Structure 1
């Protein structure tokens, strides 16, 4: 297989994703002071500049006429006007020594603004929390130099970034949340196809040989897409291999029937000619056993090959009616009781032949080893149907065998199985049939005596 020369795309995505995420957060947080600084040093709007010039001209004229007019009420009225929105505007006159000469009460904001304008060396505006201050405009009057500043006391809307600049804890929290959101989107982008791969792998491990990764994942151009393609290729190989094995078993079983049929025909001819003996009886017995084994092998192969056949919603009682009738007859012939407790309302999606065969195998085992009674009950919940089959027989001596009795050809070293003369295929067929329904089957001993088999099937 040729080695891909493409760069490590997952590495590039992770690097770019986290780098861009951290860079974006740093840029946003770092940009706030810059935006605030630029806003603080915003040029003076024309209408405010005109307002300063107009007031400066009036003040200059009044001071030229009367330098002592600063302290009278008429001069104060000059520095209190209303703007075009009919909002009060107050002006402060500052001499060359930086003293406000027309007011004894100066806000802290004005003092800060005067320092800011000294550094900027140009007129500007600044929005404080409760006031907008603008200026200065410098003018000469009565041989002295003055500066004039304007103040709008009403609250004015501030740019959005001032809110974040003043609420640093909130800004930090939002930055962390935004970083988490961006990283979460990246993790989702990488994690979603991995979850799809995991689900497909779990389904394949559970026996669903048709499970494949979807096209959205295989069409990706990174390592995850390559992994999905490799998984689908592996799944195809596994499915072909398992199906070939099952077909081989089925074909061999069919082929064995031909010589077996000839053997049985030869035995029949020998008996017809009066050549009956203990040896021919033994041969006939073994031929019958071989016939039964081949039949069960064919059944097991058929069940596994058709594990994904379409299922139909049917009543459980209707599906098991013939099996239960046969089991009741068999139990009565052996002097045992079969107690049935299955609600007629219980129904589930099922392949009726497979499910009937599965229950039949468990029931026949239970009847064979029961002392007096076998119970079969069914319970329904919102998500599953539970079928429980109990007998009062000897159970299975070795606890480890409880998990292995459903394997093909497995026979525990207990009297319960050794006396049956079986080959360990009946319960294997049952397991295959339950797997075909995406269900579970569990065997456990009931103390002091007995065995309980629990079958869980999805609704």
Structure 2
């Protein structure tokens, strides 16, 4: 079957986003001079053009009026839209013949109008200049211009033309806003993907990318869908592995039970010896190992237990009583500081087993004192268990929660266990969406902190 190639939508989004952003800014900035040019070349309003033509016609009919103060008298009594009009008569060389006081704006306009074939007008900051009207005197051409002070408000775009620094700042701000919207559009789903990946890495196999990301039609949406499919496969494989471990451990109990029954019958017939005692001891160790494996499998799969909302002290009461008794038998002291008001939704058996494993370890390796404390800070509940024992090598603090791992200081057979107790504890805390961490105390001892969501 022929493979269909889907267009790279993410590439198209990036290309169009940055291209449109830069094009829009260039168009806006480039349009300002064009608007200015069009405004510079605006036609003369009809009343003003008619006024200049009438005055030019009178001068042509009677050139002698220039010898008098005709133009000045006309300026004093002539008004346009309620404002006095100033007139300028220039010869073919561009020299104004009726006055020596010519503003810079008028001279600029005369140069501007000299390039045009028809009369034009231009609005300067504080005056409006228009013209020229052409007339002939003694066979030479003359040009008549008019000026009105502050005739009309200037167009809005002149503000940006004259304030180039402000215009540049606004252009940078606008481009930043457009690029920011594009970055947010691309960054939000990527951040969702990152959170899901981090949650999966921390052991939360049920976490998935949200639907708003997976429903996107670009490569990010395809990546989110592929990520969710991968997470589904990983969760299924891990659960199948845990279920297989539990099934195997359960099946091992049948031949183990037969072995223990055969040993009991042999002892009853008087066939007890050092070898049978050794077999009985190893069978008992194997029974404990299978029990631990079944417990680890049960906790990881969160089977056969209902989550309840209960006080922490109430859930741990039996565990704490047993720990106090065990510590007293070993000549050690256990101090308990748990706030009675702390309540949370949890699996009572799993959490109790987790705390029990930590307390037994602390009692076993403590020199004299063990302390357990529980407190709530905001939306988190912290359970801290401390002892004054030898601690754990710093490089092994994270590894002690892995199955079948025991530090070198605890590998002696008489210490008991197979390194599954802390693995069960870590699995139980993960089932509660919490975290567990171990630290060495100064000068000696170990501190284990459990963090649970309230």
TM normalised by structure 2 equals 0.89
Corresponding position of 2:435: 440
Corresponding position of 1:343: 339
Cα separation, 1, equivalents of 2:66 and 2:387: 120
Shift in alpha-carbon separation, 1:321–1:407, aligned structure 2, 3 A: same
Residue 190 (structure 1) aligned to one of 186, 190, 196: 186
Corresponding position of 1:163: 159
2:85 partner SS? strand
The alignment status of 1:368 with 2:364, answered yes or no, reads: yes
State whether residues 70 and 76 of structure 1, in contact with CA within 8 Å, keep that contact through their aligned partners in structure 2.
no
The alignment status of 1:21 with 2:21, answered yes or no, reads: yes
Corresponding position of 1:5: 5
Cα separation, 1, equivalents of 2:71 and 2:269: 152
The alignment status of 1:206 with 2:202, answered yes or no, reads: yes
User: 1:104-253 alignment to 2 at 5 Å?
Assistant: 104-139=100-135, 146-154=142-150, 156-253=152-249
Residue 265 (structure 1) aligned to one of 251, 261, 266: 261
Cα separation, 2, equivalents of 1:292 and 1:338: 27
The alignment status of 1:315 with 2:311, answered yes or no, reads: yes
State whether residues 90 and 97 of structure 2, in contact with CA within 8 Å, keep that contact through their aligned partners in structure 1.
yes
Cα separation, 2, equivalents of 1:166 and 1:335: 89
The alignment status of 1:453 with 2:453, answered yes or no, reads: no
Cα separation, 1, equivalents of 2:122 and 2:332: 100
Cα drift, residue 67 of structure 1 = 4.8
Corresponding position of 2:79: 81
1:364 partner SS? helix
Shift in alpha-carbon separation, 1:68–1:450, aligned structure 2, 3 A: closer
Mark the runs of 5 or more structure 2 residues left unpaired by the alignment: none
State whether residues 381 and 452 of structure 2, in contact with CA within 8 Å, keep that contact through their aligned partners in structure 1.
yes
Cα separation, 2, equivalents of 1:174 and 1:118: 36
Shift in alpha-carbon separation, 1:417–1:50, aligned structure 2, 3 A: farther
Shift in alpha-carbon separation, 1:58–1:357, aligned structure 2, 3 A: farther
Cα separation, 2, equivalents of 1:188 and 1:389: 44
Shift in alpha-carbon separation, 1:96–1:407, aligned structure 2, 3 A: closer
Cα drift, residue 17 of structure 1 = 2.7
Cα drift, residue 70 of structure 1 = 2.7
Cα separation, 2, equivalents of 1:291 and 1:418: 16
Cα drift, residue 166 of structure 1 = 1.6
Cα deviation per residue 1:412-431 (whole Å; 9 max; x = unaligned)? 22257643221111110011
1:91 partner SS? strand
Shift in alpha-carbon separation, 1:442–1:107, aligned structure 2, 3 A: same
RMSD (Å) for aligned C-alpha atoms: 2.9
- Point out the more displaced range, 113-122 or 363-372: 363-372
Cα separation, 1, equivalents of 2:146 and 2:70: 19
Number of residue pairs aligned between Structure 1 and Structure 2: 453
Shift in alpha-carbon separation, 1:207–1:141, aligned structure 2, 3 A: same
Shift in alpha-carbon separation, 1:448–1:409, aligned structure 2, 3 A: same
Cα drift, residue 231 of structure 1 = 1.8
Mark the runs of 5 or more structure 1 residues left unpaired by the alignment: none
Cα separation, 1, equivalents of 2:310 and 2:48: 86
State whether residues 440 and 457 of structure 1, in contact with CA within 8 Å, keep that contact through their aligned partners in structure 2.
yes
Residue 333 (structure 1) aligned to one of 321, 329, 335: 329
State whether residues 59 and 65 of structure 2, in contact with CA within 8 Å, keep that contact through their aligned partners in structure 1.
no
Cα separation, 2, equivalents of 1:256 and 1:216: 47
- Point out the more displaced range, 298-307 or 361-370: 298-307
State whether residues 380 and 386 of structure 1, in contact with CA within 8 Å, keep that contact through their aligned partners in structure 2.
yes
- Point out the more displaced range, 43-52 or 290-299: 43-52
